[in-house]
Amino acid sequence: MSKQPIGIFDSGIGGTSIFKEINALLPNENCIYLADSINAPYGNKSSFDILRLSIKNTELLLSKGCKLIVVACNTATTNAISYLRANYKIPFIGIEPAIKPAALNTKTKTVGILATKGTLSSQLFHKTSDLYARGIKVVEQVGEGIVPLIESGKLQSNEMKELLAVYLEPMLKENIDYLVLGCTHYPYLIPMLTQMLPEHVSIIDSGLAVAKQTKAILLQHNLLNKNTQPPSIKLFTNGNLDILNAIINSEFETSYLDF
Ligand code: DGL
């Protein structure tokens, strides 16, 4: 069982930011990644649709023999992970906006969060926020339009810069000193955001924490792959293969799959 692959899925290519962290921390692990780009963005869909798509991705990864699934999408985690955990036998790792470290470390007592509508309106996000950010002002901003731009290969574009400027303005007015990236597509914006933000604003994302949690859960279930041969890594998209290849610098095997 330990030689079986880790399954990872996202609404599109953004979750490759999580896949890269997992591959760096667990280089022996075989991985299968699903980019459900044809259905991106998930962020504006109903909770029911997000659940339905998460089940579809899970079933496909299970049919490929995955031993554990990483839901590399904040929107799918916050809307579907309880159902997935309750209905499938294998372990699931999810990703949630890193409100806790931001709230613990802020000096201005104000943090910003950029995420999808689906994440910010979810019960799980509100629960986490209420639990860890008591007494802290959380400036929430829906990143409307960002995922479609990344999915259409316009990561580094003027359109993106203009959109980010609009979203950052209210946060900077409120004097945030932490910006939490609550969507797995957004780590790819870090170079642009770093240029746009004042120096005292730190950016936090949850990628490394997810990779560490994946390792801990594999260890706990005795599922860590101790093989030292090069792993089998396969990334599938039901969208544009060139755009997937561009975001991973063509470093891994990719193919188109109709799912
Ligand atoms: N990567 C997804 C997330 O982390 C993207 C959301 C979307 O498809 O709208 O939330």
> Is the model's pLDDT at 239 over the cut of 90?
yes
Residue with tokens 């980010």: 164
Say yes or no: CB of residue 74 within 6 Å of ligand 1: yes
What does the alpha-carbon distance between residue 97 and residue 252 come to, in Å, rounded to a whole number? Answer: 27
User: Which one of the listed residues 171, 183, 197, 201 is annotated catalytic?
Assistant: 183
**Whether residue 37 is found in the same domain as residue 80:** yes
- In this structure, is residue 21 part of a structural domain? yes
**Whether residue 125 is found in the same domain as residue 198:** yes
**Whether residue 118 is found in the same domain as residue 178:** yes
**Whether residue 12 is found in the same domain as residue 137:** no
- What pLDDT shows up at residue 227? 86
> Is the model's pLDDT at 1 over the cut of 90?
no
- Please count the structural domains in the chain: 2
- What pLDDT shows up at residue 240? 97
Coil, helix or strand at residue 12 = coil
Provide CB contacts within 8 A for 217, sequence distance 6+.
Answer: 68, 91, 93, 223
What distance in angstroms lies between residue 179's CA and the mean position of ligand 1's atoms?
Answer: 17
> Is the model's pLDDT at 2 over the cut of 90?
no
Domain boundaries, position 52: 6-95+208-256
Query: By the 8 A CB rule, do 157 and 145 touch?
Result: no
What does the alpha-carbon distance between residue 54 and residue 56 come to, in Å, rounded to a whole number? Answer: 5
Which ligand 1 atom is at minimum distance from the Cα of 44? 9
- What pLDDT shows up at residue 110? 98
> Is the model's pLDDT at 56 over the cut of 90?
yes
**Whether residue 59 is found in the same domain as residue 18:** yes
Closest residue by CA, ligand 1 atom 2: 73
> Is the model's pLDDT at 10 over the cut of 90?
yes
- In this structure, is residue 39 part of a structural domain? yes
The string of pLDDT tens digits covering residues 101-157 is 999 999 999 999 999 999 999 998 999 999 999 999 999 999 999 999 999 999 999
- What pLDDT shows up at residue 158? 97
What does the alpha-carbon distance between residue 169 and residue 36 come to, in Å, rounded to a whole number? Answer: 31
pTM of the full structure: 0.95
Give the amino acid at 187.
Answer: P
Q: Of the candidates 45, 153, 187, 254, which has an alpha carbon nearest to the alpha carbon of residue 179?
A: 187
Average pLDDT, the chain: 96
What CATH number is given to the structural domain containing 82? 3.40.50.1860
Which ligand 1 atom is at minimum distance from the Cα of 41? 8
The single-letter DSSP state of residue 231 is P
What distance in angstroms lies between residue 92's CA and the mean position of ligand 1's atoms?
Answer: 17
**Whether residue 138 is found in the same domain as residue 199:** yes
**Whether residue 109 is found in the same domain as residue 167:** yes
Percent of the chain with pLDDT over 70: 100
Percent of the chain with pLDDT over 90: 96
Q: What DSSP element (H or E) covers 233? A: strand 233-237
**Whether residue 77 is found in the same domain as residue 127:** no
What does the alpha-carbon distance between residue 239 and residue 187 come to, in Å, rounded to a whole number? Answer: 20
**Whether residue 114 is found in the same domain as residue 182:** yes
**Whether residue 251 is found in the same domain as residue 233:** yes
Is 73 one of the annotated active-site residues of the chain?
Answer: yes
Say yes or no: CB of residue 75 within 6 Å of ligand 1: yes
- In this structure, is residue 234 part of a structural domain? yes
Say yes or no: CB of residue 11 within 6 Å of ligand 1: yes
When pLDDT is averaged across residues 81-109 and rounded to a whole number, the result is 97
